[in-house]
Amino acid sequence: MASFASKLARLPPMPGAAPAPVAAPAPAPAAPAPEPVPVPENAAAALKSKPSLDELRDRIARIISKAAPTAPRPDPTRTELPFFVEHTTRGPLYVRRDRTPPAARVGRAPLVAARDAEPGLLSLLALDPALATCDARRALFIDTETTGLQGGTGTVAFLLGMSFYDEAQGAFILEQALLRRLGEEGPILELLARRLDEASMIVTFNGKAFDMPLLRARFVMNRMSPPRELPHLDLVHVARRIHGHRLKSRTLAAIESEVLGRERVGDVGGADVVACYMHYLRTSDEGALSGVVTHNEHDVLSMVALVGLYGEPMHGGLPGADLAGVAKTLRRAGELDRAAETAEAAVVRGGGALAKRTRGDIAKARGDKARALLDYEALAEEIDDSSVRLELAKLYEHHVKSFAAALALVEQGTGEAEAATEKRRARLRRKIEKRP
């Protein structure tokens, strides 16, 4: 836009007026001079004072690592646990094998006695004739630690413990296989199948109801052929028959304490085993499994010791009351002569009233009423037991023909129903009246 002065200059002059002078345009204000930029004396030194791109990346990485540290992934070939790796066609097998010393014991029971256990006697105590022809030297002892106590297809055996007698080494071998990663069961099951092929019988503790059905299910879930079926000695049933009169708890640890005489110190309870393994899977903390491995070892070797004890109970140091349990089981199996011999030993070893009662019952079953009468009479003086009075009343009536003595016992109470008692009382009175 033209300035006002230039516009006036272009107007025509007034008549008689002198021309006005043209004003020069005002000069534009000068721009301020820029401040001088300091220049370092050494440009190369200035460039070196700034971090490079690689250094900046290193700094960022260090900051991130401090904010969210990550644990290094453990090397599966290195372990603090007592296992080593065997590479198989089905994957890695983490296994432990230990040779027990020849003089190894669990409490007061030597392990080597299981090698010479009598299969026929084990068969009688288990009430299973299939065990009678088995070779005790080829028995396979099995115990598992699992991810659940209820079984089912979702339950996995993460630790398999086994023991067997090695003729070449002259000792029992302890073998344990660990499932370090879920989904790697194949090598463990393959090892079990191989051991079963070499064995003559299985020995477990409650394995008929839990361990073996679970292991067979895992073969199916892994699409493997089912394992070989073998005669099965389940020690939980034998232990209940022999020690049931005195056991408060019938767990293997309790039997180990009360029968074998060894106390476990710091043992992992069965309810804590699952938690230990889950912690290990989450954290790779192998220390969480150390106690579980020891617990499994104790279970397996305790079964070996119990087989040695049950395989020759007359010489294995069983107390008299436990021998009475053996005698009762032998009577139940139909071995009356052997039962009578064992009952006699039970009385000699101080089995008390239980041993005398067992000897009397076996004598009566064999037809030795004189022996039975002596035992029942002694028991009637020692204890107040209506069932003893009933047995004694029967002998007085039918064997001794002492009807008055029998009636006196009936009046004291024989534990029968009222109708049966009245019938027995009336019969004895009639016999007394008929006698001169």
Same domain, 376 and 390: no
Residue 115: give its domain's CATH number: 3.30.420.10
What is the token pair recorded at 325?
Answer: 């349990």
Cα–Cα distance, 151 to 276 (Å, whole number): 18
Same domain, 231 and 275: yes
The pLDDT of 295-318, averaged and rounded, is 93
Residue 369: give its domain's CATH number: 1.25.40
Residue 156 is assigned to a structural domain of this protein: yes
Same domain, 256 and 112: yes
> Is a pLDDT exceeding 50 seen at residue 72?
no
Nearest to 206 by CA among 256, 261, 144, 161: 144
Cα angle 238, 240, 244; round to 5: 140
Longest dimension (CA), the chain: 195
Same domain, 366 and 250: no
Same domain, 91 and 233: yes
If one counts every other C-beta atom within 10 angstroms of the C-beta of residue 340, the result is 21
Residue 28 is assigned to a structural domain of this protein: no
Same domain, 159 and 307: yes
At residue 28, the 3 state secondary structure works out as coil
Same domain, 351 and 363: yes
Cα–Cα distance, 374 to 344 (Å, whole number): 13
Which residues lie below 8 Å from residue 356, measured CB to CB, with a gap of 6+?
A: 347, 375, 378, 379, 382
The predicted-structure confidence for 153-193, as pLDDT tens digits, reads as follows 679 999 999 999 999 999 999 999 999 999 999 999 999 99
Q: Domain range spanning residue 345?
A: 319-383
Residue 64 is assigned to a structural domain of this protein: no
The answer to whether the CB of 402 falls within 8 A of the CB of 431 is no
Categorize the per-residue pLDDT at 68 as very low, low, confident or very high, splitting at 50, 70 and 90: very low
Cα–Cα distance, 198 to 192 (Å, whole number): 10
The answer to whether the CB of 160 falls within 8 A of the CB of 166 is no
Same domain, 111 and 242: yes
Listed residues 311, 335, 366: the one ending a domain = 311
The rounded mean pLDDT for the chain is 88
Categorize the per-residue pLDDT at 17 as very low, low, confident or very high, splitting at 50, 70 and 90: low
The answer to whether the CB of 219 falls within 8 A of the CB of 186 is no
Residue 180 is assigned to a structural domain of this protein: yes
Cα–Cα distance, 115 to 361 (Å, whole number): 33
pLDDT at 59: 76
Listed residues 285, 311, 337: the one ending a domain = 311
Same domain, 133 and 176: yes
The predicted-structure confidence for 226-270, as pLDDT tens digits, reads as follows 999 999 999 999 999 999 998 888 889 999 999 999 999 889 987
The pLDDT of 385-406, averaged and rounded, is 95
Listed residues 284, 311, 338: the one ending a domain = 311
The answer to whether the CB of 355 falls within 8 A of the CB of 321 is yes
Based on the structure, what is the number of domains in the chain?
Answer: 3
Same domain, 263 and 339: no
Tally the C-alpha atoms within 13 A of residue 347's C-alpha that lie toward its C-beta: 15
Cα angle 414, 417, 419; round to 5: 115
> Is a pLDDT exceeding 60 seen at residue 333?
yes
Cα–Cα distance, 300 to 204 (Å, whole number): 8
Residue 356 is assigned to a structural domain of this protein: yes
Same domain, 195 and 335: no
Residue 66 is assigned to a structural domain of this protein: no
Q: First CA to last CA across the chain, in angstroms? A: 166
- pTM to 2 decimal places: 0.79
Residue 49 is assigned to a structural domain of this protein: no
Same domain, 245 and 98: yes
Residue 331 is assigned to a structural domain of this protein: yes
**Phi, psi (rounded to 5 degrees) for 337:** -65, -45
